[in-house]
Structure formats: C-alpha cells, structure tokens
Amino acid sequence: MLQNEIWDDQAAQSYDTPGTGMFASEVLEPTVDRLVELAAGGRALEFAIGTGRVAVPLAERGVPVSGIELSKPMVDELRNKADEAAMPVVVGDMVTAGLPGEFQLVYLVCNGISVLLTQAEQVACFRNAARHLAPGGRFVIELWVPELRKLPPGQQAVVFGSAPGYVGLDTYDVLRQQVVSHHFGFDAEGGREARLFRSPHRYIWPAELDLMAELAGMTLESRHADWTGEEFTAESRSHVSVYRTTERP
C-alpha cells in the first residue's frame, strides 16, 4: 500500500469531520494554542498538511503557514479553505520536498512520521525538517507509543479504539517494526456491511526518535503526553516531542 494510493479522491473527500473526532474543538484548540506558542511569531511549515485541519486554524491565529503534502486530492480539499497565495503548498514527499526560506517551526502531527515505512526515510524526514529551520527553530512531532505490552505471546493484533459504528485494530509485525491500522466503520442502522480503511506504519520508540533528531543536529527540548502539557509517563499512549536546532553564536 503506497501512501499516495491510500489518500485518493475518496479518502480526501471523506477526511474532514467538522466538530468531531480529530476536528473536535477539544482536540484542535490545545494543538493550535501550543503551536502558536512554539512558532514564536515566525513562519511555520507543516509536513503532511493534508486538508488543513491544523494549518487553517493556525493561520487564522496569525501564524504564516506553508505545507508539504504527498496527496494532490488532499491539497485540492485544502484549496477550498485557503488559496495558494495564503497558504503555499508543495505537492511532494516530506522526506525530500522543500520550500524556500527559513521557518521558525516545522511540525508533523497525528502520527505522520510513522507513515514513512523505513528507518532511513524517518531519519531523512528529520534532516529535511532541519534544512528548513532557522537557527533555534523547532521541529514538533505528535506520535503514538507502540502498545506492545498488550500483545501476549502468539497474538498480533490490538484493539486501539471503539465507538458506536467504529472499531480500530492494529496488527503488529514486531520483527520488522511495522504495524497496519485497520479502521472498520459500520452502518448505524444495523446493516451487515462494514467499511474498511487501512494504513501501514513503522512504529518508533521515543528514544529512537531522539537519536534521529541527534543525527539531524537537533536536541530534545520537551516531551509531554499531549498538547496540554500533561506529564509523559510509562503509561502514556502518545507524546508531543519538541526538538530544537542549535542557536547561532
């Protein structure tokens, strides 16, 4: 499964869920508040900008935002909210694509770095972020923590979420550090058919992420369990990690 095949027209047109899920105010507002703080009055670049879930409200808060996005259908949806002049976007791979100028903030949310399926690509993503950052600039990553403690011997799958009409299931390949997320949607009226959306990922431990940052010339500035600043512990299911480049003398 290639990412540009997964995020096709159908996926892009059904991605936005205004007011619910990832688009709920209680999810978005703390994210945007923290990114405004980290941008520190400078320009921001979002890797995997998608339909602008975070970028649009961030720009509305006065932060100039640009983006890189592999899926043209996702960018087409973004263009219904912000034109190219207001929010420049390069259609390309966040491992190699670039924009001119320097940014105070580069950010990658919602497990975005895990869609790069090799360690080499993930390291290259850090290096691409570093190339875009001004001295003292920050690279912010939001990422889930692999739930391997839930896997008893012989079991390969973990249910990570459930709600009326929805079940989320991760299947792990612990030898190759790969996971496929399966999202099952069911008819609310009790129909027998289910809709399935799958996406492959390479999971990354926080310590491995820190080493990737070091290879790119960045150091860990902070790590919290979420965007509100909750303490990161051994029980945290996700983290928001902030890396910083070296200041000029």
- Architecture per CATH, 3-145+204-245: 3-Layer(aba) Sandwich (3.40)
pLDDT of 32 strictly over 50: yes
What's the pLDDT at 11? Answer: 74
pLDDT of residue 127: 97
Q: What is the mean pLDDT of residues 69-81?
A: 93
Helix residue spans in the chain (DSSP H): 3-6, 9-13, 25-39, 55-60, 72-78, 119-132, 206-215
Of the chain, the percentage scoring pLDDT greater than 70 comes to 94
Q: Longest C-alpha distance within the chain, in Å?
A: 65
Question: For the range 245-249, what are the long-range contacts, defined as Cβ-Cβ under 8 Å and sequence gap of 24 or more?
Answer: 245/130, 245/133, 245/134, 245/135, 245/136, 245/137, 245/138, 245/139, 245/217, 245/218, 246/135, 246/136, 246/217, 246/219, 247/135, 247/136, 248/135, 248/136
For position 249, what pLDDT does the model report?
47
With beta carbons less than 8 A apart as the criterion, state whether 16 and 55 touch: no
Mean pLDDT calculated for residue range 163-188? 85
Number of residues that make up the chain: 249
Q: Tell me how far apart the terminal alpha carbons of the chain are, to the nearest angstrom.
A: 46
> Is pLDDT at 174 greater than 70 in this prediction?
yes
Average model confidence (pLDDT) across the chain: 90
CA atoms of 17 and 24, how far apart (whole Å)? 8
76-90 tens-digit pLDDT = 999 999 999 999 999
Residue 163 confidence (pLDDT): 82
| Angstrom distance (rounded) from CA 105 to CA 76 | 24
CA angle 118, 2, 182 (to 5 degrees): 90
Residue 226 pLDDT > 80: yes
Query: Does the structure show a pLDDT above 80 at 188?
Result: no
* Cα distance between residue 178 and residue 116, in whole Å: 10
Tell me: pLDDT of 4 over 60. Answer: no
- Provide the whole-model pTM: 0.89
Residues 126-160 have pLDDT tens digits of 999 999 999 999 999 999 998 888 888 888 888 88
Predicted confidence at residue 57, as pLDDT, reads 96
Q: Where in the chain are all domains bearing CATH 3.40.50.150?
A: 3-145+204-245
